[in-house]
Every structure is written in C-alpha cells, then in structure tokens.
Homo-oligomer: A and B are copies of this chain.
Amino acid sequence: MLVSQKISTRRNQIMAVSLQMMRKLGYQGTSMREIASALNIEAASLYNHISNKEEILKVTCFGMGNQLLLGMNEVNDIYFNAVEKIKMLVKNHIRVLTTDLNAGWVFIHEWRNLSETSRLDFIALRDRYENGIIEILQQGENEGVFNEVNNKFAALTLLSSLNWIVEWYKPGGNMSPDEVAEKLTDFILSGLKKD
C-alpha cells in the first residue's frame, strides 16, 4: 500500500513536471531526459511510472475532454432554458481549463501529437462536445431568445473564446475563473454594441 502510494505520487510529479515543460516548449520540444532531470532522476527511470511519452499526452487530453463532457451532461440534466445552460457551460469550461492551466494548455494545443488512433478518438470526443453546444444554441433559437444564426459557426466562435483563455489567463491576476466566465457570457450573449 505504501509502495503503490509512492509510485502514484511519483507519477503525479512526472505528470506535473511534464505538463509544465510542455506548456513552455511544446510536446515535441520536451524530452524525456529533461523531464527526468527536473526530478533528479535518469530518463530510464521514468518508464517505471509511465509506459511512454505519449501516455502523458493521452491521459491529459482525454482527462480534460471527459471533464468537459461530464460538465455538459450535468448542464443538460439540471438546467432548463438555453441561457442558463450556456452560462453554466461556460463556467464549467473555464473552470476545467484553469484548474490546471498547464494541462489546459496541453489539452488545447498538443492533441495533434497523439498517435493516429488516439487522435481520431480525441476528435470524436471533441465533436461530441461541439455538437452538444450546437444543440443548446438550437434550443435557444427554438425558445426565441437567440438570434437565428449558423449554429455550427456560432458554436465554433463561442468555443474559440472559451479556449483562447489558456493563452492569457494569469491565475494570480485580478479575475477569478468564475468572473472570467461571467464576462465572457455577457460578451457572447450581448456583444459589444450598446442596445
């Protein structure tokens, strides 16, 4: 029991260090030797805790993706009208991305480096999320509260502003994740123009 806890802790350290380096240097720009060196061990020792470099990426991308999908399911189960759903979805999305910004950044940028089969799985997962957003927008149209727009286009634009947050969000800054979510929702719902 103690042993497996130790291993698990080491694994967590490896994950944390890897994601930090990958955010700075990219997946391909981060070597196993550098990860090991940051932990004061040899590269070969990493393989006692993870099976290979790609596992780091796979666990991160699918972990984040599943968190987003879980949030979406929850939103659809609990909230009734489209505006409420969008608000909750945005809040969850920002929370998931900012809870571990290194993981969020890698999730957004580095999934392309997944091997062929994993990449296809990831794209399928992402498409499910995207389609869920399209459905909410459609619901809003049906309710008569959203403008009639190209929902696919609107969903992509919405997602772009949600995902871009990993580029500029500073955890120690003057906006909490929920405040960001609130401002973003206002922007998405009302736009720049004064009524």
Contact = CB atoms under 8 A, between A and B. Distances in A.
Interface of A: 26, 28-29, 83, 86, 109, 112-113, 137, 140, 144-147, 149-150, 153-154, 156-157, 159-161, 163-164, 167-168, 175, 183-184, 186-195
Given A26-B26, A26-B28, A193 B190 contact: yes
A161 B137 CA distance: 17
A63 B151 CA distance: 33
A164 B157 contact: yes
A194 B156 CA distance: 19
Contacts of A184: 157
Identical chains in the assembly: 2
Given A26-B28, A189-B193, A192-B140, A157 B161 contact: yes
A187 B190 CA distance: 9
A136 to B, nearest CB: 10
A171 to B, nearest CB: 16
A187 B146 contact: no
A26 B189 contact: no
A30 to B, nearest CB: 10
Nearest to A147: B194
A192 B188 CA distance: 6
Contacts of A191: 187-191
Contacts of A187: 149, 154, 157, 191
A44 to B, nearest CB: 23
